[in-house]
């Protein structure tokens, strides 16, 4: 009987150790997930701060950031040129009121409601 008691104690002890290790692994995983979530939040907020700073200072870039501001401006200009090229390929027109891209045969702007036929007839 003594053998079975010792065996039972050994099994109980091993099960307890496994339970503690499993809890430790689970707790660690939860903390790592929370840490990753907070790191992602920080990145998002830094981007938001940068975007707001850029918007507030784009007309008078600080000297130490002028090159970065210029790169953003050049990228924005190229993006707009690409959008125009795509519109041309697709045969789209641009609403003169809000800048939305529309099918060439659109009578009204789907974004702002401007009647396009009147505007295009005035231009001719």
Query: Distance between CA 49 and CA 55 in Å, rounded?
Result: 10
Cβ partners under 8 Å of residue 92, min gap 6:
86, 101, 102, 103, 104
* C-alpha 13 chain-centroid distance: 49
Convert the pLDDT of each residue in 88-104 to its tens digit.
Answer: 898 888 888 888 888 88
Beta-bridged to residue 108, according to DSSP, are 115
Task: Inform me whether the pLDDT recorded for 124 exceeds 60.
Answer: no
Convert the pLDDT of each residue in 47-79 to its tens digit.
Answer: 999 999 999 999 999 999 999 999 999 999 999
Task: Inform me whether the pLDDT recorded for 16 exceeds 90.
Answer: no
Lowest model confidence (mean pLDDT) among 3-7, 79-83, 113-117: 3-7
Convert the pLDDT of each residue in 25-49 to its tens digit.
Answer: 899 999 999 999 999 999 999 999 9
């Amino acid at each position: 009987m003594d053998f079975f008691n010792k065996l039972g104690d050994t099994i109980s002890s091993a099960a307890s150790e496994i339970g503690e290790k499993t809890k430790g692994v689970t707790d660690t995983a939860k903390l790592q997930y929370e840490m990753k979530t907070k790191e992602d939040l920080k990145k998002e907020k830094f981007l938001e701060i940068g975007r707001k700073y850029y918007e507030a200072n784009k007309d008078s870039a600080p000297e130490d950031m002028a090159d970065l501001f210029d790169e953003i401006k050049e990228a924005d200009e190229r993006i707009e040129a690409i959008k125009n090229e795509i519109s041309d390929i697709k045969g789209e027109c641009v609403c003169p009121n809000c800048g939305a891209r529309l099918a060439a045969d659109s009578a009204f702007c789907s974004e702002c409601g401007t009647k396009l036929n009147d505007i295009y007839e005035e231009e001719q």
